[in-house]
Each structure stands twice: as C-alpha cells, then as structure tokens.
Amino acid sequence: MSYNRKALLTGLVLLVLSVICCSAGYAEFDSPFASEGKFQLKQGGAADAANASASANAKKVIYDSDDRPAKVAVIADLHVQDSKQKMLQTAVKAINELPGIYAVAITGDLCRKIGSPAEYSEMIKLVSRFKVPIFAVPGNHDILYRDFFGKNNLKLRTSPAERKAKLERFRKALKLKSLRFSRKVGGHLLVFLPNDDLKGKWLVSLSTGALNFLKETLKKNRDVPTIIFCHAPLEGSYVKERKLGPHNSNAQPAGKIREILRNNPQVFLWVSGHLHIGPASNEYHNPANKVGKVTVIHTPAIGTNSAWMRVLDLTPARAKVRTYNAKTGKYAKKYERVFKHKVKKDKPDKPENSSDASKNDDKNDEKNDGKNEDNDDDKDDNDNEDPSDEATVEEEEADEDVDTDENTSSDEEADTSDNSGDEVEENDESGDTEENNAAAVELIEQLIAKITEFLQGLWSGILKILKV
C-alpha cells in the first residue's frame, strides 16, 4: 500500500500540535500553574493543599496569610547568666517544641546587668538556639549602662553616643532590620517599641522617633486589633508602688503614650516585662492591669528555678492570652484571658486592611536621633552612681525570688476571671496545612513528570515509525 510520506508526517505533526494546544487551553482553567491560580481539588484537605500551592505561584489564597491563626510566645527579663542556664534552656526548648508557634517575642533585659560585649556574647549563645523568628525590644540592662562597673560594683549610665552604639549592638545581635517595627500576625497588628531615647533619664524612655512611628503605624491600621510590645508597662497597671518610683517603673513619657492610646482604641493589649511580676503575685492577673481600654500583660522573668511565659493565641476573631509553665509543660488555666473582636464573616477570603504593616519597618528609624545628640548635657555621663538605678537591682532581685512555682498545683483550676465565659475553641486546622501542601505539590510534580515522559516517548515512536 502506497502512501505520501511527507503528507503523513505533516498530518501527524499537526495532530500532536493540536493535542498540545488543547491541553494548554484546558490548563488555563485547571492547572495550578495557570496565571490566575484557579485550580481547586474537591477532596477535603487536598483542596487546602492545592490552594496553598497556587498561592505560592499566583499570590492568590483563600484568606490573607496575615490572618492565619498563629501563636506568639512571650518571654522577658532573661538576664542571661550561669545560675539561670537550666531554666533558660528549658524555656527555649519549650518554645521550640510548642505546636503552632509563629515567633517568640522578648520584651527586654536579655543581658545580665550592663550589656557589655561579654554579656552580649552569652546572650547570643542562648537566643541562637531558637528555631523560630525572634522579635525583641531592648530593656535598660541591654543599652543603658557602660561596659564596665564603677566603684563598689555599681552600674554607670552611658552617654547618648554610647547608648546609640549599644542600640545598634542590640539590633545586630538579634538580627533585626530595625529597632522599631510591626508585623501582622493572626489577624492582629504587633507593634514593637524600643527603649531608644538617647538622652532619656528614666530607665525606659521612648524617643520622639519611636512615638511618631507608633502614631503613624496606628493611623494606617485603624481597624486592626493591635498589641504593643515594650520593656516597661503602662503607668497604673499594677497595685503596689515600686522602689524604682513611678517614672522608672513605667514606660515614659507616660502622658504622651496615654494620649496616643486614647486616640487609637484598636490597641487593646500592652505586653511588657521590667517589673518581674510573676504568677505568684496577686498583681499578675488583676483588674488593675487594665488602664483605660488597654490591658497590660505582665510577663514573668526567667528565674533560677522558674520558667514561666505568656503565649498569645491569635485569630482574626479573638486573642487568647495564656500562661505556660515551661518547667512542668502545662498551661495555667486560671490566668487565661480571651479578647473577642468583630469580624466580617461574609468575606473571609478578603479581610480588610490586609496591607502588610511591616512596610513601616525601616521608616523613621533614625529620624530624630540626630537631634537627640545635640547639646549634650546629660548629667549621667560621668562616673557617679545613679541611686534610682541601684534600686533597680534591689527590686529585680526581690521579685526574682518571688517568681517561683508556687502556683503549679493550681494549673488545672478553672478560670475565675471575668473573661472565662468568653472562651473560644482553638482553631488547629492550620496545623496540618504544611503537610498537605507538600503532599499535593509532590503529587502534581509526579503527574507532570509522567505526562512529559509519555509525550517524549510518543514523539520518539512517531519518528521511528516514519524513520525520520
């Protein structure tokens, strides 16, 4: 039987090209690699995995990643030293192993006493063990004192220039892009404020640049529930008066901070350390913690025999504040607090204000610091001891002894706070997302490889038949 070899070859080529074109057209609607990423599987968890795969290529997801449920562990006042190593390591291990932890926030005083290079070296050894991102703000022991002690082993205040250098030392040690920054996590805006006033005479003073950064960040996120992290608490958020006095015990300037918070009702939590208020204190979970419309969350210090921490369980609908004992591996339910938010349920895939607040990370970083260095008349820039600072040592050591495990036996008690009726069940569905994503991506890659192999074999067979 005779046949036109050239015509047959042309026909087969056109047939193959037609099949390929039809497949491409079909893939425009069903392929996860199409430009619009519209591919969806209809079977249970596989749908979530396919959607996640599509988002990686087309940045289109069911709901904004900023709104995904997340947990943030909070620790404070590590004062890294040999006598605390066991509890410090226990805290780090607990955070690394807690399921669903997005990051760890550290609210200052990571260094033992003066923030010398040697103390920073010890601190870096510890924090390098974290397997999650670290969000940290400096405390007075990290940046406020000279690298050496004065007479009688007393701490000495730095000059503005030295303080600026120490702030940079802190930033580099914690690998932060900026000392003032914000993140959107679990449907919340997290704002981190450093103790960065170069000439501030109080233990924790926010610079003009930090205050301006706070105002601008809050202005751009009016409708996002906001949590602020700072080393010191708000004035009036505890019961007993401290030996430090009202100015050194609280974040300053207290009046300006209070005004900013009053003008921004979206701020509902202020997370701090500094005073070493632990679960053994009646001030830890007290109605006095609420200042105006903002509740202050006091974070315990890591002690020589205790490793308490806070865990913020965040979703767009609520924030759950929990207390975790790393030493026993248990949550203390009696200290749990739940804060509910209003959310639009009709459009879960398009949350409002989903713009990334982290764009503000590098804004205003050194905007006003240069002005602070002018006309240096800081009286602390000498070898005289600061009497209020010496009170810091007495206060911290006293609170450190109190912060023990006295409440361990009551960890399973019911919550007796006013918010106990507002408890919301945890959303753990996101815990399996990564595993499903990996399985779906692997399945799709195998499918593509098989199709490619088949087409290559088909084409080779055609060429052999035609003896081309």
Q: Encode pLDDT of 130-169 as tens digits.
A: 999 999 999 999 999 999 999 999 999 999 999 999 999 9
Q: E strands of 33-154, at which residues?
A: 70-75, 101-107, 134-137
User: DSSP of 350-393, one letter per residue?
Assistant: S-TT-S-GGGGTTTTTTTTHHHHHSS---TTSSS---HHHHHHH
Looking at residue 19, its pLDDT comes to 52
Residue 37 zone, left/alpha/beta (φ > 0; ψ -120 to 50; rest) = left
Looking at residue 308, its pLDDT comes to 98
Task: Tell me the average pLDDT across 357-371.
Answer: 40
54-63, 136-145, 296-305, 443-452: least confident range? 54-63
Predicted TM-score (pTM) of the model is 0.65
For CATH 3.60.21.10, the residue range(s) in the chain are 70-427
Does residue 14 surpass a pLDDT of 50? yes
Does residue 279 surpass a pLDDT of 70? yes
Give the confidence band of 373 by pLDDT, cuts at 50, 70, 90.
very low
AA identity, residue 185 = V
Task: Tell me the average pLDDT across 337-358.
Answer: 60
- Mean per-residue pLDDT of the chain: 76
CA proximity to 400, closest of 150, 144, 78: 78
d(Cα 352, Cα 67) in Å, to the nearest integer? 10
Distances (CA, A) of 248 to 94, 137, 238, 353: 32, 17, 14, 36
d(Cα 415, Cα 334) in Å, to the nearest integer? 4
d(Cα 363, Cα 181) in Å, to the nearest integer? 9
Give the confidence band of 459 by pLDDT, cuts at 50, 70, 90.
confident
Looking at residue 437, its pLDDT comes to 52
Tell me the per-residue pLDDT of 395-432, one tens digit each, with 9 for 90 and over.
333 333 334 333 333 333 333 333 333 333 333 333 34
CATH number, span 70-427: 3.60.21.10
- Look up tokens 């090209």; give the residue: 17
Bridge-based pairing of strands 294-298 and 290-291 is: antiparallel
Looking at residue 205, its pLDDT comes to 98
Tell me the per-residue pLDDT of 24-59, one tens digit each, with 9 for 90 and over.
443 333 333 333 333 232 333 333 433 433 343 333
Cis ω for the linkage preceding 387 (within 30 of 0): no
Does residue 380 surpass a pLDDT of 80? no
